[in-house]
Amino acid sequence: MITKLKNIFNSRSSFIKNISTLLSGTVVSQLIMVVSSPILTRLFTPNDFGIFSLFVSVSGIISVIATLRYEMAIMLPKETKKSFNLLILSILISFIISFITFLLILAFNKFFVKTFELDKIGKWILLVPFSVLFTGLYQSMNYWVNKNKSYKELSVSRVLQSSSTVVINIIAGLFKISGGLILGTLFGQIFSFFYLLLKSFKRRLLKLINFRLIKKLAVEYSDFPIKSTPGIFLNVLANYFPVILISTLYGNTVLGFFALIIKILNMPLGIIGSAVSQVFYQESNDLKSNTKLLDLFKKTSTRLALIFTIPAIIILLFGETIFAVVFGQEWAEAGRLSKIFIPYYAMRFIFSTQSTILTTKRKIGIELAFNFIFLVLQIAGIYIGYYFFTSYIYSFTFLTASGFIMYSALGVILYKLLKKEN
């Protein structure tokens, strides 16, 4: 598979080599998740998957502000000292945000549960702050390692994360622990963070810590918390808030179908897209010529489109049968519904992967506007399907239509931005 992808992405040798390194670990990690899925769907019910999806949505929405987006700035400075102090800043902020989250949940637990109907999560809501913390810590280390082009370590960390997640999921499932999916994900985050920390930690780096410089960098890159944090927060809301709405309007069984669908359709994005995105971000910061970056953007878009064609055709032709055979007959409906989401996830796979161009060019205001409109359309799509057609099928259809339109528009925006600066 990796050899075929090399041929598809046959452009810059270093670009391909780095993608291939990340792909090797990412493919293995996703393969572990794929192979384990039939086991997990038999150990856990659609209701369990619904609860897990709800937990991930809540923690995901909060996690987006875990570092106030300063981890994205780690890649930008040329000097190691500045990048390392941005890493320290991101880590400190992660601890502060997670502690505040913990206090808020303790103080307003009943209010949150009643307002957002989170009673289905139950006691597991107390693990949200820990998920927020280790998401922030892992993302910070992820960009620091990426900055140093240590793609082998990143690759291994992904295998470690998925394998530890699956092992704990299966053990918890065998012991009938309802929150086993949640526990597995949390421990996967913890193990992968500590692996990157141990692999990248060098005692000499501690001498670089300068709190005056950290304060200065916090001001210099303040557009990340001011503009990028609201932007990505809106994007995460657009991706996770529909989960909460679907749970509220249609119940946990429909939510379980939706959770499995997005898990399967996100696999190409998780396997290939994440690897391409990280290397693309590094390359776009190194490239001096906008002409070369535009050329890289066009070639990457074309080849990502070709890659997504294969799983898209398979799901369109055999989706219902595959879901029923692989995951169990009770999941056949999810296979039928998955066909609806193909156009949306195709555009998302191609262009969200390269959206870091907006960060590289410091066009964070565009990202903010895009994510606001995206959020409004996603919420509107679900409500229109529910109130006017009383059908989750219509809600899913409007959801994918708005996603397809927005990510197609993002592709046009990125192309025009690079074309304009040439």
**Nearest C-alpha neighbor of 422 from the set 292, 267, 328:** 292
Place of tokens 């999806």: 53
Residue 310 CA, chain-centre distance (Å), reads 22
What is the C-alpha separation between 60 and 237, in angstroms, rounded? 9
Assign 6 to helix, strand or coil: helix
Using alpha carbons only, give the angle 419, 342, 1 rounded to the nearest 5 degrees: 80
Assign 278 to helix, strand or coil: helix
Place of tokens 């992967």: 353
Count the neighbouring beta carbons within 10 Å of the beta carbon of residue 171. Answer: 14
Averages of pLDDT over each 10 residues, the chain, 422 residues: 48 64 75 83 80 81 87 86 93 95 82 59 81 93 86 87 92 85 91 90 81 92 82 77 83 83 75 71 66 82 86 86 83 87 90 81 81 90 90 91 93 86 61
The contacts of residue 21 (CB under 8 Å, 6+ apart) are 151, 152, 155
Looking at residue 136, its pLDDT comes to 94
Looking at residue 1, its pLDDT comes to 47
The contacts of residue 218 (CB under 8 Å, 6+ apart) are 70, 89
* Secondary-structure percent of the chain, ordered helix, strand, coil, rounded to 5: 85, 0, 15
Place of tokens 């039939």: 38
54, 218 contact by CB (below 8 A): no
Looking at residue 2, its pLDDT comes to 47
Please report which helix (H) or strand (E) contains residue 392, including its range.
Answer: helix 392-420
**Nearest C-alpha neighbor of 371 from the set 69, 139, 142:** 69
Residue 362 CA, chain-centre distance (Å), reads 21
Looking at residue 118, its pLDDT comes to 57
Q: What is the DSSP letter of 354?
A: G
Looking at residue 135, its pLDDT comes to 92
DSSP string, 79-103: SHHHHHHHHHHHHHHHHHHHHHHHH
Place of tokens 């075929």: 4
Question: Which pLDDT tens digit goes with each residue over 232-271?
Answer: 778 777 777 888 788 888 887 888 888 888 878 877 666 6
Amino acid residing at 223: D
Count the neighbouring beta carbons within 10 Å of the beta carbon of residue 193. Answer: 23
Query: What phi, psi does 7 have (nearest 5°)?
Result: -65, -40
